[in-house]
Structure 1
Amino acid sequence: MPSQFTIDFQNAQRKTLPLDDQRDFEEAKRGFIAAPPYKQIMAEAGNVAWDMESYEFLLQGKDFDSIHPSLQRQAILNMAYGLYEVVPDKIYQVRGFDLANISFIKGDTGWIVFDPLTTKETAKAALEFINEKLGTRPVVAVVYSHSHADHFGGVRGVVDEADVRSGKAQILAPVGFMEHAVAENVYAGNAMTRRMFFQYGVLLPRSPFGHVDQSIGKNTAAGNVGLIEPTRYIEDDFEELTIDGVRMEFQNTPGTEAPAEMNTYFPDMKAFWAAENITGTIHNIYTLRGALVRNPLAWSKHINTALYRYGQLADVMFASHSWPRWGNDRIQEVMRTQRDVYAHLNNEVLHQANKGVTINEIHTSYKLPKSLQDQWAAHSYHGSEEHNSRAVINRYLGYWDANPATLIPLSPRDSAPLYVEMMGGAEKIMAKGKELHDQGKYLEAMEILNKLVYAEPGNQAAKDLLADVYEQIGYQKESPSVRNSFLAAAYELRSGVPGGASPKSGPDVIRGMSTGLWLDFLGISLDSKKAEGMKFTINLVTPDNGENYVIEMSNSTLTNIKGHLAKNPDLTVTLNRSDLEQVMGGRSTFDELLASGKANFDGDRKFFDDVRSTLSVFPPDFELIPGTKPSESSAPSAKKDPFEVDGPADTSGG
């Protein structure tokens, strides 16, 4: 249960938050048409893909002391569920069917769908629901606003690929979409997926003591993730198109919330679509599951461009998360708030860094100005001031704080025993840790108990006490990503790393992965110690798409180059790219393709076997906290073919 210190903290927050500002609640309800009779959406595989009912504890009308009051407010706002009108007889949204919203623009003959959610099942349910309520219309176009999975993964629920290929429906996306939709999350995909257990609280119970929200939506759907390649890319900074009688101007905003992202303005409706660039919450500059650090200044500048180009004209602003804002004054208020908060984050952090504040100190000194603290659209639900401020320094100055003592540090496992010995042993640390916990000094307790857990991973009493500390810290956090991380760590400290297998990538994502990207991943999978002394060259030829690659093993490193063939290779491997995809997706092996005549080896097979012998299969259940891994892994990773690529991590939510 929340301690008295946590209860006092939450009560203090209730006194300082701008809770009298109820405009978000009014806007979140505006335009409501209907909600479906069901609260769950089933996946084709038989599991529950989506479950709003599991969060209905939030609608009891009571304050929970185990939830930061600002987060509880956001979690209630994200309980919107059903069909909403944004612009009369023109723009509609289905909200609460997935982490994102799915938006429907009414054209002359059919629907233009913006961001078809994460899974086929939730998107299909949304399309069926709007057709039931407003009349059946075909989908004539789909727009992917950006390259994260909750904005394209449900495309097969709203459009048939045959209709896309025949031209009956088109798919639009920002330039660079396909590359970033796949590449951003492949190289470290296994690690990202494991870390998502913390950021997204995958296994936390949905309760006041566990998962309550994901800040820009309730959660991520668990169904079939698909991908159909766009038929047209928006390449210019600004590009105007008319589709099915609907005029649209696209604004490319690369390097903001996603590497490839675009806003859209509808001049005839005076409606501005802000994608995931303006969602009424401060987003991640650094995403805790793992991602490249983003550029908050570029983000701010793209918002500013949108403000001056569209914000002074628009009557409504809607986005791929949260709820619309109506009225030009309100739109400009939210746009300026979000513009300023990203610019302030960039500028103030660098201001302090130029005065000597380091990456290990900035999170204790960076604060938003009071004028922004009083704006709900400046609250860090998805990001947090603590980890975003550190990210800015990391972007510009890197992880080193310029103290030589931290340049070549001992690993935590090596340093912890020294600390424990110097502190007088486990009993003294436990006693002090309990004292600090009972005083509500949770960060101080964490500092010493974490050392003990690293030094003595088998000390369950220490892990349990650290879990108690983590729980109270989690309860006090406004950001669900930070809350989930502490609560999920407490779960694993008490119960160990969960067993089971992570979801595998579907054929759409594998098909979208370039051969070069797959070869790069093999280079990452290579155990360099096993490759010591190996030296050879392999040509890879895929006739059906006309690609050639040279693969070299030298200096315990596997490299590749596209568009070349070695004159005297040790081995040439020839197979169609379509058959290679079967290997990449784990649905066939090279040996099976050789046996069926679909692959050919010209040269010494030994070199292929040498490559295979060096490849590691990454365990999906590695420890994040010492002493939490069972002695025998329950994950079935050992039987995986080493040429099967690890599925890209789920980028839902950015």
Structure 2
Amino acid sequence: MRKLPLCAALGLCVATLTLGGCSSKDTPLERAADADAYGSTPATARTAEINRQVLQELPFADEQDFVEARRGLIASAEALTIRDKNDKVIWDQPSYEFISGDAPDSVNPSLWRQAKLNNIHGLFKVTDGVYQLRGFDLANMTIIEGDKGWIVVDPLTTAETAARGIEFAREHLGDQTISAILFTHSHIDHFGGALGALAAAQTELADIRVIAPSGFMEESISENVLAGPTMNRRAEYMYGMPLPRTARGHVDSGLGKEPGIGTVGILTPTDLVSRTGETLEIDGVSFVFQNVSGSEAPAEFTFYLPEKKAFCGAELLSRNMHNLYTLRGAKVRDALAWSGYIDEAATLFNEAEIYFASHHWPIWGQPRINEFLEVQRDTYKYIHDQTLGMAYKGYTPVEIAEQLALPAALQKNFANRGYYGTVSHNSRAVYQGYFGWYDGNPANLNALPPEDAGRRYIAAMGGAAKVLAVAQQAYNEGDYRWVATLLNHLVFAEPKNEQAKALLARNYDQLGYQAESGPWRDVYLSAAYELRHGNTASTQDLSVARDMLVHSPLSNFFNVMAARLNATKAEGMEMTINFVFTDLAETHVLKLKNSVLHHRRAEADPDANATLKISHALFLDIALGQASIKDLVFSDQLSIDGSKIDLGRFFALQDGIAAGFSIVTP
């Protein structure tokens, strides 16, 4: 019996379980740090001029953010380089030590300022009994002192970074155990390190409460599963994974330095918060919750500590404009609901004297907190309202993104700048949320695909040599967006045209250097890197996700199998396959007809072509690529009834996943 098709059918269905995926190759942290080693070019005079203009547009003399970002610092970890059990670097704060002084010509000064603020790391006292670990991962981990132990809020992305954070806290605050863990929302940088935190604090799972928003388990596991391989590939661009950490490479993600890449897990909540105003006493500390699900995350809450007059904004609020649409690819977020939740928080928690959150640094004092909430609230509503208003007049998403700008009152606040989300792509998200991808122009209803369009454009313009000459002239004039349009057509028409790829790479360098948004910078520079070096997509070690994947509903796997069905090969075939999970008392019936694969949890179909009896543990081994053919053949955790030939034919219908597909070339 041949088992390889089964591995192929299941092995990549959970490809994105972290914000940035899990790479089994050397990470950029372990590559040469010299920018010239990967072929980047210096900033042009035009780029330097554009970046200098930023210095005149924003109040860089205001140092209040730096005062607050350093306030309460207890200690910073020296040489904060974190490795996994195989000695692979998964977090390297020292790689960002080059970020100091004035911004170089190759970095937008506003992004450089944010990068300097995000470089301030260590253990901080927020107020009596509340501490934060910042700079140990993309997110913050908050520690609240309870009667019996620590209440840990958002234990980071990975077990390794969370463990190091807890160890550092214990060095300076005493050897406390953990009494409770709060997951503010369903993104993995806020829960993936939970098991590592417990281990570092020498705490048994049975001894703690786990509090999360209603829907947490479903949303935390499912968000990236179906879209996983594609989302992971795009995340490599969004977070600059191929890039060195240099002034010509990755400098910051806006929200933090970058996602940690390591072992991830999850804990099943003991308490679910489902409504605003709900209160809980957790290890002697009173919490008042606000349900903000459907804003930044599909399952999310904020909370207030009335005894400390401290408001945790989770990720409803952050010290940058957030994403209504994230460039790695995810469902569009509701700008109007998001703004409404912020307005509600301002009313509910109007006595707060301290604000802290899952990213960035706190704010102290009611006037500053009120101003912060007001500006963030109004920004999301302004983008929502004005996008709709322009759509009412017939403007398309591209036209709206080009024209829409925040009013002066919302532009000058650094906490509102587009370091992560931008007005440009957020306005497109609002349009998409209401009207979808079609802009109403029939020329875009059934447009030619990129390769075909590219060949025809280049021919119409007189050939590759002429297009290159026009592009070079535009590059010399600093018209970089036009160069990108021209050369994108040429590269898709002639993917082996090295001269075109080289000029397009230089051009993307300049667009990246000018970007205020960390993700925009990383997308441009990652594109330049790939044009120079070819497709460098990472492979993935999915074993790091086992502690999380064990909680994934089996339906997720079968949904991915349905998406991977080769419909052409399946045409005319009808088949029924039973999956019987022997250790779960759970059976799923898969039916193939009309080139569509359906599945449901039900009693085994007695007329099925084949019945596969398998343990959940072995199923996970197969999905994670941890079971060899020999393991399967001799395993007492797997048996087959019915036609082995039909089972083989069924798995042969599963297409592979091009997890490392090209983006800037065909």
TM-score, length of structure 2 as denominator length: 0.91
Q: 1:71 aligns with which of 111, 117, 120?
A: 111
Aligned residues: 624
Q: Deviations over 1:359-388 (max 9, x none)?
A: 221110111111100111221111111111
Q: 1:380 aligns with which of 418, 425, 439?
A: 418
Amino acid corresponding to residue 641 of structure 2 in structure 1:
D
Q: What secondary structure sits across from 2:137 in the alignment?
A: coil
Query: Mapping of 1:398-409 within 5 angstroms?
Result: 398-409=436-447
Amino acid corresponding to residue 173 of structure 1 in structure 2:
A
Query: Mapping of 1:206-355 within 5 angstroms?
Result: 206-310=245-349, 312-355=350-393
Pair 561,329 (structure 1): closer, same or farther in 2 beyond 3 Å: same
1:30 equivalent in structure 2: 71
* CA drift at 1:469: 1.1
* CA drift at 1:590: 8.6
Structure 2, unaligned runs of 5 or more = 1-41
Q: Any conservation in 2 of the 1:210–1:487 contact (CA below 8 Å)? A: yes
Of 313-322 and 222-231, the range deviating more from structure 2:
222-231
Amino acid corresponding to residue 319 of structure 2 in structure 1:
G
Q: What secondary structure sits across from 2:198 in the alignment?
A: coil
Task: Name which structure has the greater RCO, CA cutoff 8 Å, separation 6+.
Answer: 2
Q: What secondary structure sits across from 2:289 in the alignment?
A: strand
Q: Any conservation in 2 of the 1:384–1:482 contact (CA below 8 Å)? A: no
Q: What secondary structure sits across from 2:664 in the alignment?
A: coil
Give distance in 1, aligned partners of 2:582 and 2:143. 41
Pair 301,499 (structure 1): closer, same or farther in 2 beyond 3 Å: closer
Q: What secondary structure sits across from 2:579 in the alignment?
A: strand
1:434 equivalent in structure 2: 472
1:415 equivalent in structure 2: 453
1:636 equivalent in structure 2: none
Q: Any conservation in 2 of the 1:280–1:338 contact (CA below 8 Å)? A: no
* CA drift at 1:231: 2.3
Query: Mapping of 1:162-181 within 5 angstroms?
Result: 167-181=206-220
Q: What secondary structure sits across from 2:304 in the alignment?
A: strand
Q: What secondary structure sits across from 1:173 in the alignment?
A: strand
* CA drift at 1:586: 2.1
Give distance in 2, aligned partners of 1:210 and 1:597. 51
Q: 1:45 aligns with which of 82, 86, 91?
A: 86
Query: Mapping of 1:180-199 within 5 angstroms?
Result: 180-199=219-238
Of 334-343 and 563-572, the range deviating more from structure 2:
563-572
Q: Any conservation in 2 of the 1:359–1:400 contact (CA below 8 Å)? A: no
1:632 equivalent in structure 2: none
Give distance in 2, aligned partners of 1:48 and 1:301. 41
Q: Any conservation in 1 of the 2:177–2:201 contact (CA below 8 Å)? A: no
Of 10-19 and 611-620, the range deviating more from structure 2:
611-620
* CA drift at 1:584: 2.3
Q: Deviations over 1:589-630 (max 9, x none)?
A: 698446433223222223321221011221332111226xxx
Give distance in 2, aligned partners of 1:155 and 1:553. 40
Query: Mapping of 1:240-639 within 5 angstroms?
Result: 240-310=279-349, 312-498=350-536, 500-505=538-543, 506-566=545-605, 568-588=607-627, 592-593=631-632, 595-626=634-665
Q: What secondary structure sits across from 1:58 in the alignment?
A: coil
1:62 aligns with 2:94: no
Give distance in 2, aligned partners of 1:432 and 1:169. 65
Q: Any conservation in 2 of the 1:590–1:599 contact (CA below 8 Å)? A: no
2:5 equivalent in structure 1: none
* CA drift at 1:120: 1.1
Give distance in 2, aligned partners of 1:250 and 1:562. 36
Amino acid corresponding to residue 290 of structure 2 in structure 1:
Q
Give distance in 2, aligned partners of 1:499 and 1:222. 15
Q: Deviations over 1:263-298 (max 9, x none)?
A: 111111111111111012111111111111111111
Of 34-43 and 401-410, the range deviating more from structure 2:
34-43
Amino acid corresponding to residue 222 of structure 2 in structure 1:
A
Q: Any conservation in 2 of the 1:274–1:317 contact (CA below 8 Å)? A: yes
Q: Any conservation in 2 of the 1:44–1:223 contact (CA below 8 Å)? A: no
1:9 equivalent in structure 2: 50
* CA drift at 1:14: 0.6
Give distance in 2, aligned partners of 1:615 and 1:590. 18
1:644 equivalent in structure 2: none
Amino acid corresponding to residue 23 of structure 1 in structure 2:
Q
Amino acid corresponding to residue 15 of structure 1 in structure 2:
Q
Amino acid corresponding to residue 565 of structure 2 in structure 1:
L
Amino acid corresponding to residue 433 of structure 1 in structure 2:
A
2:29 equivalent in structure 1: none
1:140 aligns with 2:179: yes
Amino acid corresponding to residue 44 of structure 1 in structure 2:
K
Q: Any conservation in 1 of the 2:176–2:201 contact (CA below 8 Å)? A: no
Give distance in 2, aligned partners of 1:72 and 1:500. 27
4+ aligned runs moved over 4 Å, structure 1: 160-166, 589-594
Amino acid corresponding to residue 498 of structure 2 in structure 1:
Q
Pair 163,19 (structure 1): closer, same or farther in 2 beyond 3 Å: closer
Q: 2:143 aligns with which of 104, 107, 121?
A: 104
1:80 aligns with 2:159: no
TM-score, length of structure 1 as denominator length: 0.92
1:21 equivalent in structure 2: 62
Amino acid corresponding to residue 443 of structure 2 in structure 1:
A
Q: Any conservation in 2 of the 1:83–1:95 contact (CA below 8 Å)? A: yes
Give distance in 1, aligned partners of 2:381 and 2:618. 48
Query: Mapping of 1:637-648 within 5 angstroms?
Result: none
* CA drift at 1:352: 0.5
2:7 equivalent in structure 1: none
Give distance in 1, aligned partners of 2:377 and 2:351. 17
Give distance in 2, aligned partners of 1:249 and 1:121. 31
1:643 equivalent in structure 2: none
Give distance in 1, aligned partners of 2:511 and 2:201. 51
Q: Any conservation in 2 of the 1:163–1:169 contact (CA below 8 Å)? A: no
Give distance in 2, aligned partners of 1:271 and 1:590. 56
Q: Deviations over 1:97-152 (max 9, x none)?
A: 11111110001121010001111111111111111111111011111111111111
Q: Any conservation in 1 of the 2:84–2:262 contact (CA below 8 Å)? A: yes
Give distance in 1, aligned partners of 2:200 and 2:275. 26
Pair 163,55 (structure 1): closer, same or farther in 2 beyond 3 Å: closer
Alignment RMSD (CA, Å): 1.8
* CA drift at 1:571: 2.4
Q: Deviations over 1:467-497 (max 9, x none)?
A: 1111111111100101110111011111111
Q: What secondary structure sits across from 1:541 in the alignment?
A: strand
Give distance in 1, aligned partners of 2:88 and 2:643. 47
Amino acid corresponding to residue 366 of structure 1 in structure 2:
L
Of 584-593 and 227-236, the range deviating more from structure 2:
584-593
Q: Any conservation in 2 of the 1:226–1:508 contact (CA below 8 Å)? A: yes
Give distance in 2, aligned partners of 1:264 and 1:94. 18
1:652 equivalent in structure 2: none
* CA drift at 1:445: 1.5
1:651 equivalent in structure 2: none
* CA drift at 1:193: 1.1
Pair 542,263 (structure 1): closer, same or farther in 2 beyond 3 Å: same
Give distance in 2, aligned partners of 1:526 and 1:597. 29
* CA drift at 1:553: 0.6
Q: Deviations over 1:222-266 (max 9, x none)?
A: 221222222222223332111111111121211111111111111
Q: Any conservation in 2 of the 1:164–1:170 contact (CA below 8 Å)? A: no
